[in-house]
Amino acid sequence: MARPGQQQFYNKLEAILTELPWYVEEYIDKKRRKLSAASLLNYCHDFKIFFSWLLSEGFFEGSMKDVPLPLLEKLTTQQIEDFLSFLKFELNNKDLTINRKLSALKSLFNYLQNIAETDDLQPYISRNVMAKIELNSVKEDQETTANRMEGKILIGDEYEQFRAFVANDYLQIVQDDKKKVNFYTFNRERDTAIVSLFLGSGLRLSELVGLDISDIDFKKSCARVIRKGNKEQYVYFSEQAMLDLLTYLEIRNARYKVEKNNKALFISAPMGPKGKSRRLTPRAIEKLVEKYAISFGKPSLSVHKLRHSFATRYHAEINDVPKLRRQLGHSSVQTTMIYTHIKNEDLKNAINKLNMPKD
């Protein structure tokens, strides 16, 4: 079930797909599970510019929707360079924008050559001209990196909304699938505690995976972690993370049938002939975050993006770079400075008010 904002993007996506070739629609369908509707819509806009250019240059006489696959197979590297020059000098696209459009085309052509196949198991195209074209060399400054990151992290109310989604609202998404309902109900407290701890501390995936129960200081709301360089550090986490941890620990031993010698904080469901539970693996945590992110309508959200989300919020509310650097365990302050360039909701709202008509 798409959220209202997402549904608008889906509607626009369906409309633009009616103008594009069938193989583009097939490619987009394959990407729906991994990319947001907004990202897919951007891809389609980029594809439309490319196919429109093909028609304007006389490569094909007909509609955009009917551009055949053999035409793509016969394009030369010089013709693609001409298209990139068109983007730069006719559309005034910057190098980063050109790279984005080129990346979208590279992904499409890669699908046509290496993933899609005909009924007789042949690739859609045997020659991929886009594989021969290099992206522009662009060195991002901190503000550019921050702006690119901003659309992929939790901003403003999304911070609480995502935690609440994992804690409760996900059930509405899977309510018609008994297997998923049972799996979610079994792991709800654990998954909520994991997401809450990421959002409330900014821990790295490896740091969270390695936590034992004895590493948690319940009086001071902090955790003992081993950071990069094998350095030991105590990292503070939020009150909400503490509450979610305590809720999880109330059911941990009985529900997961934890053996006394298993001190891992986060445990997998009992597996194997003997039904033993074990420490959750990094990949298992990545997959559970990915599952909730896709259902939440923000498929680009990952474990690392949860860390970025924490850092962005921390800086917006506290504005203390040295403390944030220590909390995140950065060796260089320059890495931490990226978060000072990400716009927060208060700044956006203040700017929006400047544009409001006066009475």
For 102-127, write each residue's pLDDT tens digit.
Answer: 999 999 999 999 999 999 999 999 99
User: Span 197-216, mean pLDDT?
Assistant: 88
The three-state secondary structure class of 47 is: helix
Amino acid of residue 150: E
pLDDT at 194 over 90: yes
Amino acid of residue 35: L
User: Span 41-66, mean pLDDT?
Assistant: 93
Confidence band for 275, pLDDT divided at 50, 70 and 90? confident
Beta partners for 223? Answer: 216, 235
Predicted pLDDT at 148: 46
Please answer whether residues 324 and 318 qualify as being in contact, where contact means their C-beta atoms are separated by less than 8 angstroms.
yes
Strongest mean pLDDT among 17-26, 263-272, 325-334: 17-26
pLDDT at 138 over 90: no
Residue with tokens 């599952």: 291
Residues 6+ apart with CB under 8 A from 347: none
Residues 6+ apart with CB under 8 A from 121: none
Predicted pLDDT at 145: 46
Q: Which residue ranges form the domains of the chain, and what is each CATH number?
A: 4-138 (1.10.150), 158-349 (1.10.443.10)
Predicted pLDDT at 273: 64
Q: Backbone phi, then psi, for 259, in 5-degree steps?
A: -75, 155
Condensed to tens digits (0 to 9), the pLDDT of residues 221-242 reads: 888 987 766 778 888 888 899 9
pLDDT at 177 over 70: yes
Helices (H), the chain: 4-17, 22-31, 37-56, 69-74, 77-85, 95-110, 142-150, 158-164, 170-174, 178-201, 205-209, 239-256, 282-296, 303-318, 321-328, 333-337, 345-354
Beta partners for 232? Answer: 226
Interatomic CA distance for residues 149 and 48, integer angstroms: 25
Average pLDDT, the chain: 82
Predicted pLDDT at 351: 38
Predicted pLDDT at 31: 87
Confidence band for 187, pLDDT divided at 50, 70 and 90? very high
Predicted pLDDT at 332: 52
Which has the higher per-residue pLDDT, 335 or 214?
214
Predicted pLDDT at 21: 95
Q: DSSP per residue over 119-182, as a string?
A: TTS-BS-S--GGGGPPPP-----HHHHHHHHHTTS--TTHHHHHHHIIIIIHHHHHTT-HHHHH
pLDDT at 2 over 50: no
Length of the chain counted residue by residue: 359
Q: Which of 135, 130, 101, 133 is nearest to 113 (CA)?
A: 130
pLDDT at 19 over 50: yes
Predicted pLDDT at 170: 92
Predicted pLDDT at 249: 95
pTM over 0.75: no
Cα(first)–Cα(last) distance of the chain, in Å? 40
Which has the higher per-residue pLDDT, 130 or 326?
130
Catalytic center residues: 204, 228, 304, 307, 330, 339
Burial-class residue 10 by CB neighbours within 10 Å (0-12, 13-18, 19+).
Answer: middle
Burial-class residue 134 by CB neighbours within 10 Å (0-12, 13-18, 19+).
Answer: exposed
Q: How far from chain centre, in Å, is Cα 93?
A: 25
